[in-house]
Structure 1
Amino acid sequence: MNQSSTSMILQEINRMPDACAVVRGSGKYPNIKGQVYFYQMDGGTVVIAEIYGLPTKAGMCGEEIFGFHVHSGDSCTGTAQDQFADTDGHYNPRNCEHPYHAGDLPPLFGNGGFAWMMVFTERFYAREVIGRTVVIHRNPDDFKTQPSGNAGEMIACGVIY
């Protein structure tokens, strides 16, 4: 990417995404809904997330931060104890340590239950994550704890198609 990266990205996101995921909350967080879009570009992928219904806390500093990752699994299913157990771990085709997994993404910052985020990553192309899952965690990723950043409970998931 170079100095004209912003204009190049804006041109690219004016087309249909190369992949997307419809995100839904777990049984405990049924109000979470949203979309994640993947735009393949030269050298990587632009990821855009638009999420509604995230948990909030009362008070002036009540906005929350949520872990956000692409996971290796191909299903947002699981068990009664872990509704999204089948998402498996973070997408990590190069076997890197956390936070260098290909699926490690910046956190989502809640704004009155809404989050919007856009990032460019060289860690994967959109076509590589089709059929995998995108997961929102209850806590922010600490970007150091192995193997997954101590992000806690998976509260929402979507299959990338």
Structure 2
Amino acid sequence: MDPVLYYPRNMYGQSATVEFHASPLAPKLKGMMNFVQQPYGVEVIVQVEGLPSFEKKNGTQIGPHGFHIHEKGVCDVGNGEMPFESAGGHWNPDDQPHGNHAGDFPVLFSNSGRARMLFFTDRFTVDEIIGKSVIIHQGPDDYQTQPTGNSGLRIACGVIEWN
């Protein structure tokens, strides 16, 4: 069966945007994401600058940076020590183990504080993620530790909104 038949014709080309808001842990961070519905899945484009440099400090690794879709579309910094806890946990609509959540993304590798990436996924449609948030974490995702991948503190957050 042709996978194109799974999506109504009017869904093609739907798009959503995220504008990242920085935390006190990465105050210069800014960036955008776009999600574009395609016939076989969603094209995801991210561009970020102001990412912290790679380092290991007291057993904590900073960079590359894990990032994921989170359950709630709320990006309140809170007290600044544990930013963006208001976004809730990882979005996991089909109750999979971490590493296979629909909202698990590849890590962001920083080049002098900048990252740009494009990838494609068939784990969700643009329509399903509207109103959720995307979080960039301080450290890399190990794709194993349950339920969050041990990717550390949250350094940026943005809400997914229709374009």
Q: Shorter-normalised TM-score: what interval?
A: 0.7 to 0.9
- Quick check: 1:79 aligned with 2:81? no
1:97 is displaced (CA, Å) by: 0.8
Give SS of 1:66's match.
coil
Residue of structure 2 in register with 1:48 after alignment: 45
Q: Are 2:23 and 2:77, in contact at CA under 8 Å, matched by a contact in 1?
A: no
| Counterpart for residue 58 of structure 2 | none
1:155 corresponds to which residue?
Answer: 155
Asked if 1:105 corresponds to 2:102, the answer is no
Give the Cα–Cα distance (whole angstroms) in 1 for the partners of residues 93 and 122 of structure 2: 13
The residue aligned with 1:38 is: 35
Q: Percent identity?
A: 42
3-state DSSP of counterpart to 2:104: coil
Q: CA-atom RMSD, angstroms? A: 1.9
What is the aligned partner in structure 1 of residue 10 from structure 2? none
* SS across alignment from 1:86: helix
In structure 2, C-alpha distance between the alignment counterparts of 1:135 and 1:49, rounded to whole Å: 12
The residue that corresponds to 2:22 in the other structure is: 25
- What is the DSSP-based 3-state SS (H/G/I as helix, E as strand, rest coil) of the residue aligned with 2:20? strand
Between the aligned partners of 1:139 and 1:29, the Cα distance in structure 2 is: 12
For each residue in 1:100-138, what CA deviation from the matched residue of structure 2 results, as whole angstroms up to 9, or x when unmatched?
Answer: 111000000000000001110111111111111011000
Structure 1 stretches lacking a partner, 5+ long: 1-15
Per-residue deviation, 1:17 = 6.3
Instruction: Report the TM-score, using the length of structure 2 for normalisation.
Output: 0.82
What amino acid does structure 2 have at the position aligned with 1:135? Answer: I
Which 4+ runs in 1 deviate beyond 6 A?
none
Residue 56 of structure 1, CA deviation: 1.2
Q: Equivalent residues in 2 for 1:101-140 (5 A)? A: 101-140=101-140
| TM-score normalized by the length of structure 1 | 0.83
Instruction: For residue 44 of structure 1, report the CA deviation from its aligned partner.
Output: 1.4
* Structure 2 match to 1:143: 143
More moved, 21-30 vs 150-159: 21-30
Once the 2 structures are TM-superposed, how far is the Cα of residue 51 of structure 1 from its aligned partner?
A: 0.1
| AA aligned opposite 1:67 | G
Aligned residues: 143
8 Å CA contact 1:17–1:37 kept in 2: the answer is no
